């Protein structure tokens, strides 16, 4: 081997070692970055010269699994946060503030009143229990609509974040594609791109489709294009005020509906899905249950015509604003927010306790005790109302609680439903968090930097660098000796 060939070989080896050491140093500095993937310096020989090409450690299958579990976990977390707020309408069972506890307290107070129909104190205790129950339903309705409004705002924030991430993704993807075409090292840009995809997967289910030249396309888990050469616009019109009958807006991607009943290609996972389900399903179902409790209360305490003229039943102790009759099944949306104790039975509002016992809240034709105060021991009406509270009565089939239930039973079923939903969501969050941890760990093992490996590789490369440098030194001495002899 001539000295010139040996020199070029040693020089090429020295440069290759420098490049490899630089990559190891790069890995070491990026070890603490969760979006950083280990860079691999692959040595190839072309025309007798060593060349280092930088590749990025990646595993598409593990990345896909991690994205799926991220989206599913985000769905359950959004549901759990909302259900925890809704469960506050039930409160601590020991405080007896739930609608079920209030119904039980009302029943107890009414039984005592029925046993002492001439007792003003018992009547007053009943009115207090009735007012507490009505207020509980009013407050629960307000809480539900507040959760819906907050959730709608969360959907707006989610859409804004998605559009921001897509804008950044488009820029980085262009950098990757153009850099690849020029033969540049785009591994860091690809790390950034994967980090943006991971963030997008928190908001919605994502499908990643690799393309030639390191280009990729993004689709939702429902099949709607999210990014294909350019980012697709994601739109949503937030609702500023929520009532029980208000329907929130849907999310559209490039004009395609992806949430709501009209979605042909709906999103299946992600924070956005959890929020939409909470706003449009969970809270609406819970409101329907409370409305049915309110309807049952109004019906149980309704007054019937006693004159024989077949006049319609009318609200009695419990009524609601604008009432023209006893509400029919299914209850109108928001009835639980309107129910109240009739002023006609509350002396502080111009009414009389006796109207509970004697009837007549709706006029003379609805009086059950014509003798009035001269028959203060009249209890037939009170016992009939007490029986009505415990009687099985038809309830809306859409509740899923069966065809009939008592007021106490319906209130208890409703409370159990929200608590079971919260507990189920909590368990799902724990399970999905565990899955996400395993998926992230598997991806980390495949792509993250192992400092022990990098240290060992650095020592090996330093030895190779020293050997190449030593060889160059020997060749340099040989050349000086040769030149001195020739001179």
Q: Are 42 and 185 in the same domain?
A: no
Q: Are 145 and 244 in contact (CB under 8 A)?
A: yes
Structure letter (DSSP) for residue 211: -
Whether 71 and 182 map to the same domain: the answer is yes
Residues 287, 187, single domain; the answer is yes
DSSP per-residue codes, 383-402: HHHHHHHHS-EE--GGGSS-
Structurally, the chain folds into a number of domains equal to 2
Name the residue range of residue 325's domain. 64-435
Whether residues 351 and 476 share a domain: the answer is no
Which residues of the chain fall below pLDDT 50? none
User: What is the predicted pLDDT for the residue at 64?
Assistant: 84
20-29, Cβ contacts within 8 angstroms, sequence gap of 24 or more = 20/52, 20/457, 20/461, 21/458, 21/461, 21/462, 21/465, 23/52, 23/54, 24/454, 24/457, 24/458, 24/461, 25/458, 27/449, 27/454, 28/449, 28/451, 28/454, 28/458
320/462 same-domain check = no
Say if CB 107 and CB 172 are below 8 A apart. no
**15 and 136 together in one domain:** no
Residue 441 lies in a domain: no
In angstroms, what is the C-alpha Rg of the chain? Answer: 37
Within-domain flag for 444: no
Pairing state of beta strands 234-236 and 230-231? unpaired
Interval 113-139: pLDDT, tens: 888 888 899 999 999 999 999 999 999
Using alpha carbons, select from 408, 379, 353 the residue that is nearest to residue 127. 353
- The verdict on residue 442 lying in a domain is no
Would 319 be classed as within a structural domain? yes
Extract the tokens encoding 43. 């040595």
Q: Are residues 130 and 16 in the same domain?
A: no
What does DSSP assign to residue 41? Answer: E
Q: Is residue 440 part of a domain?
A: no
pLDDT of residue 439: 79
């Amino acid at each position: 081997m001539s000295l010139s060939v040996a020199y070029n070989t040693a020089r090429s080896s020295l440069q290759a070692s420098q490049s490899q050491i630089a990559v190891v140093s790069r890995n070491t500095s990026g070890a603490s970055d969760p979006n950083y993937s280990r860079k691999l310096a692959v040595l190839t020989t072309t025309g007798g010269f060593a060349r280092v090409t930088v590749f990025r450690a990646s595993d598409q299958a593990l990345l896909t699994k991690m994205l799926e579990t991220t989206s599913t976990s985000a769905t359950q977390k959004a549901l759990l946060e909302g259900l925890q707020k809704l469960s506050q309408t039930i409160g601590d069972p020991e405080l007896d503030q739930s609608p079920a506890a209030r119904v039980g307290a009302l029943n107890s107070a009414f039984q005592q009143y029925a046993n002492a129909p001439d007792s003003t104190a018992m009547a007053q205790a009943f009115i207090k229990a009735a007012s507490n129950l009505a207020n509980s339903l009013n407050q629960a309705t307000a809480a539900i609509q507040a959760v819906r409004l907050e959730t709608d705002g969360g959907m707006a924030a989610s859409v804004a974040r998605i559009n921001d991430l897509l804008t950044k993704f488009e820029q980085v993807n262009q950098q990757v594609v153009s850099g690849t075409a020029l033969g540049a090292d785009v591994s860091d840009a690809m790390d950034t791109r994967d980090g943006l995809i991971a963030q997008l997967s928190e908001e919605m289910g994502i499908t990643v489709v690799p393309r030639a030249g390191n280009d990729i396309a993004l689709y939702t888990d429902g099949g709607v294009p999210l990014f294909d050469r350019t980012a697709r616009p994601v739109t949503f019109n937030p609702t500023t005020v929520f009532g029980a009958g208000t329907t929130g807006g849907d999310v559209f991607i490039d004009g395609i509906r992806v949430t709501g009943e009209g979605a042909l290609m709906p999103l299946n996972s992600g924070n956005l899905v959890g929020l939409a389900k909470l706003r449009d399903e969970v809270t609406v179902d819970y409101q329907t249950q409370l409305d049915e409790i309110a309807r049952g209360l109004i019906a149980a305490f309704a007054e019937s015509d006693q004159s024989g003229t077949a006049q319609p039943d009318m609200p009695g102790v419990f009524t609601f604003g604008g009432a023209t009759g006893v509400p029919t099944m299914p209850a109108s949306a928001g009835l639980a927010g309107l129910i109240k104790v009739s002023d006609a039975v509350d002396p502080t509002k111009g009414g009389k306790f006796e109207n509970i016992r004697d009837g007549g809240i709706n006029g003379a034709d609805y009086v059950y005790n014509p003798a009035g105060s001269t028959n203060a021991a009249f209890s037939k009406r009170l016992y009939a109302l007490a029986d009505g509270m415990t009687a099985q009565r038809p309830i809306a089939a859409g509740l899923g609680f069966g065809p009939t239930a008592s007021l106490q039973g319906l209130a208890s079923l409703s409370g159990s439903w929200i608590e079971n939903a919260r507990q189920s969501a909590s368990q799902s969050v724990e399970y999905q968090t565990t899955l996400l941890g395993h998926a992230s760990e598997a991806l980390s093992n495949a792509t993250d930097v192992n400092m022990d490996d990098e240290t060992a590789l650095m020592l090996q490369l330093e030895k190779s660098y020293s050997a190449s440098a030593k060889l160059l030194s020997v060749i340099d001495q040989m050349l000086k000796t040769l030149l001195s002899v020739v001179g």
